[in-house]
Chains A and B, each alone.
Chain A
Amino acid sequence: MKISPWQLFWMFTTLEISMSIWLTVSPTIEIAKQDAWISLAVAGVIGLLVTSILVLVSQRHSSHTLVEFTQRLFGKWGGKLIGTLYILVWFSVSADILRIFSLFIRQYLFHETPLWIISVLMVAAMVYINYAGSVEAIARFSEMAGPLLLAGILITFCLNLTNLHPSLLFPVFADSGVMPILKGSLVNASFLGESMMIMMLTPFISNSKKMLKPVLLAICVPSLIAVAIALMVIATFGTNMGSALFFPYFSMVRFINYLEFVQNMDVWIMFIWIFSVFVKLAIYLFINSYGTAQLLGIKNWKIMIGFAAVLIFSKSLLPANVFGMLDYAKIWVTYIFPIFIVALPIVFLLVSLIRKPMTPA
């Protein structure tokens, strides 16, 4: 069974939302002040453009993954080199997300539990879903988790309305200006660029000609959520607190006190948010093991799941720095985003146009 457009939409929505409510809002507010929401809207537009290129590239090679079509475009060794680089990026980002996820859970929910236990539980679930049903199972899971997450976020928005001071959103534009807004938009735009994993997934999508719309919609929805969260956070905490708090959305959810008994909703939100991180990490595990298997020419890619999982897990334990993800985010924004998400896919597109002009893939 292949992934339907509807499932594709939920898969990408789920994995993009996890970032918009978690890591992007605070750094954007730091750069663009109370105009962070404009930044995030701009980021959404950038994300749409980038993703359209990625989808075009993938559609031209709809029966091949990135590892395969780069070998067709650049020859065996050139292709393998590019493929390896991409796989390395995906390994590093998944290890990093796993690490910051475990640290976050430990900081907010379990103080005494060893870090590796939290990671092991997550990795075990990732391995299980990949063994049980590979990427189709993940797609079906996100079809269930995505709506739940979206509903949860919308409920918190409604409950937070009483805490808002809309005057904190003004003046618009005067305190930041064009450059800070654009600079601030890079953070979320680069996170939205995680949609580059589509280049590994096209062979599993049932109708790749129709995949542009669901994927672009899956960039729109998380961008809108991010805009709304920025508006809410700024109107609740102002720009200083909003940028000082590492996870302002979760602090905002904690701040909700509706009729004295709807309180401490952060546990619920974290609960469903874990689903979305799980979707993201499970897809990364799939891509990493499938891609490695293709690179090494191994027929049964499922053998690689164990190796990939161990690799991701052990790498996630390496850094000692508590907020290492925020450092990694800098690498992601300054190197990985321009090279791997913008430049290389454009090169792929051009080369593939030159090699096979006008013939639909």
Chain B
Amino acid sequence: MKKISSISWLIVLMLVSGCWDRNEINDYAFWIGTALDLSEDGNLEKSAQIAVPAGFKSTGRGGSDQRGNIVVTASGSSVVDLEQQVQDKLPRRIFLGHRRAIFIGESLARKGIVSIMDQFTRNTDTRLRTDIFVVNNGKGRDVLEVNSPFNKFSSIVAVDQDRFCRLGDTALRDVLLDIGRDGIRPSMPMVEITARNKQEKNQIIEVKSVAIFNQYLQMVGKVTGRESLELFWMKGVLKDQFITEETESGNIALYESNLKKSIHTEINGDRIKAHVKLEGIGRVIENNTDIDISDTPQRVALERTLDTMKAKQIEATVKKLQGQYGQDVFGIGEEIHREHPYQWKKLRKNWDQLFPSVEVTVTVKLKIENMGGIGKRIPGIGAKE
């Protein structure tokens, strides 16, 4: 009797418990990258980079002839979730758990991205660990269409290449962190497609600029190259960089790592001062001067000149950002918040008006720890003696 009842229970259990959430891996369309753009007629466009597993097979001769993914685009008149339209074009169920990067076209970024941010955090299928980019002078869709020889997915290439800050896939979290605070304005890395030769065309993407946003999440400007590196250094997210300096006796290139920043703020009546200290440890990679770096007095003198030069450059960058965009992308306001919390309560509301007048002084301390395989440059030896 007991056996019969237990067997009948088992049968009931098997009949009742259908596998609602059974999903075979080949029923899924893995969504690797998202692009959001504004089309000419003002519609919102959402493109998805979807993995095509059949494309993985031909790895022998390099992936350039096989794409391994397909880019699907949907558009709508308002900022609605366009997932249904994407799904309609695919034979498999879309799966968002593997999305690595989000690309926002510059025109959409300039219009404002408040209304598109919610979807990235609400859906519990997606991960917060996602990279987010603005596409410089272009559309997000174009980046998804790039067919990199290094990886099937241009989205993953962009994440790996996010060399500025090496934020990599924590960028979305960092943007969300900045959005919620009064003393800092969001900034995010930009990708661009600018082919310099035939090979680069449609295969290479570049990450060399940073987009600056205001508190309403509208992109207000961008900085490129050295200035963008300086921005992220001051923000405290840059880990390493190449520095090239033009001294009086020639130029010199360093690879700087262990980059650090510390900010100290002062409030005197209406004047707000910020002292920024930036530190790094360097390795000389090119020395076109006659300075013998292995000689301590000469090296220390070189370090000092480099420090003052770099500090001046960064101060100029800060001035430029204060004047041109007036957005505190460095987080100086947050530093005041930490150091002078009670005074900050009065400042926070009109921080955008106050920030351009903050007096920022920068001191740089670069330490040359490694000079490479030679001390004096080889052509220099003959010339001096």
B177 CB–A CB distance under 8 Å:
yes
B273 proximity list for chain A (CB < 8 A): none
Q: Are B169 and A257 in contact (CB under 8 A)?
A: yes
CA distance A26 to B8 in the complex (A): 45
B21 touches A241 (CB 8 A): no
Query: Which residues of chain B in 338-385 are interfacial with respect to chain A, using CB atoms and an 8 Å cutoff?
Result: 338-339, 341-342
Q: Are A112 and B21 in contact (CB under 8 A)?
A: yes
Contact of A117 among B17, B128, B170, B180 (CB under 8 A): B17
**CB pair A111 B21 closer than 8 Å:** yes
Interface residues of A in 240-271 (CB under 8 A from B): 240-241, 244-245, 251, 254-255, 257
A297 at the interface (CB under 8 A from B): no
A238 touches B124 (CB 8 A): no
Please tell me the size bucket of the interface on A.
20 to 34
Which residues of the other chain, A, contact B177 by a CB distance below 8 angstroms? 165, 168, 237-238, 240-241
Question: CB-nearest residue of chain B relative to A162?
Answer: B170
Which single residue of chain B is at the shortest CB-CB distance from A240?
A: B180
CA distance A240 to B181 in the complex (A): 8
Q: Which residues of A contact B170 (CB under 8 A)?
A: 163
- Interface residue B222 (Cβ < 8 Å from any Cβ of A): no
Whether the pair A170, B338 counts as a contact (CB closer than 8 A) is yes
Q: Give Cα A238 to B181, complex, Å.
A: 9
> Residue of B at shortest CB range from A243?
B180
- Are A254 and B338 in contact, CB atoms less than 8 angstroms apart? no
A257 and B341: CB pair below 8 A? no
Restricting to B13-42, which residues have a CB under 8 Å from any CB of A? 16-17, 20-21
Contacts of A240 in B (CB 8 A): 176-177, 179-181
Give the interface SS of chain A, mostly helix, strand, loop or mixed. Answer: helix
**CB-nearest residue of chain A relative to B237?**
A165
CB-CB under 8 A from A238, the residues of chain B are: 176-177, 180-181
Indicate if the CB atoms of A108 and B124 lie closer than 8 Å. yes
In the complex, whether A359 has a CB less than 8 A from a CB of chain B is no
Taking CB atoms, residues of chain A closer than 8 Å to B334 are 167
Q: Does A110 contact B (CB under 8 A)?
A: yes
Minimal beta-carbon separation of A271 from chain B (angstroms): 16
What separation, in Å, do the CA atoms of A248 and B355 have in the docked complex?
A: 33
Asked if B173 contacts A237 (CB within 8 A), the reply is yes
Within 8 A of A (CB), among B184-242: none
**B171 to chain A: closest CB distance in Å?**
13
* Residue B337, interface by CB 8 Å: yes
CB–CB B128/A110 < 8 A: no
Given contacts A171-B337, A174-B342, A238-B180, contact A110 B129 (CB under 8 A): no
Q: Could you tell me if A241 and B338 are in contact, using CB atoms closer than 8 angstroms?
A: no
Which residues of B lie under 8 Å from residue A314 when comparing CB positions? none
If A241-B121, A255-B128 are given as contacts, then 7 extra A-B residue pairs at C-beta distance below 8 Å, sorted by A number, are A112-B21, A168-B177, A171-B337, A239-B180, A240-B180, A240-B181, A254-B129
Interface residues of B (CB under 8 A from A): 16-17, 20-21, 121, 124, 127-129, 169-170, 173, 176-177, 179-181, 334, 337-339, 341-342
Complex A-B: 18 CB contacts under 8 Å: A112-B20, A112-B21, A113-B20, A114-B20, A117-B17, A165-B177, A171-B337, A174-B341, A238-B176, A239-B180, A240-B177, A240-B180, A241-B173, A255-B127, A255-B128, A255-B129, A255-B173, A257-B129
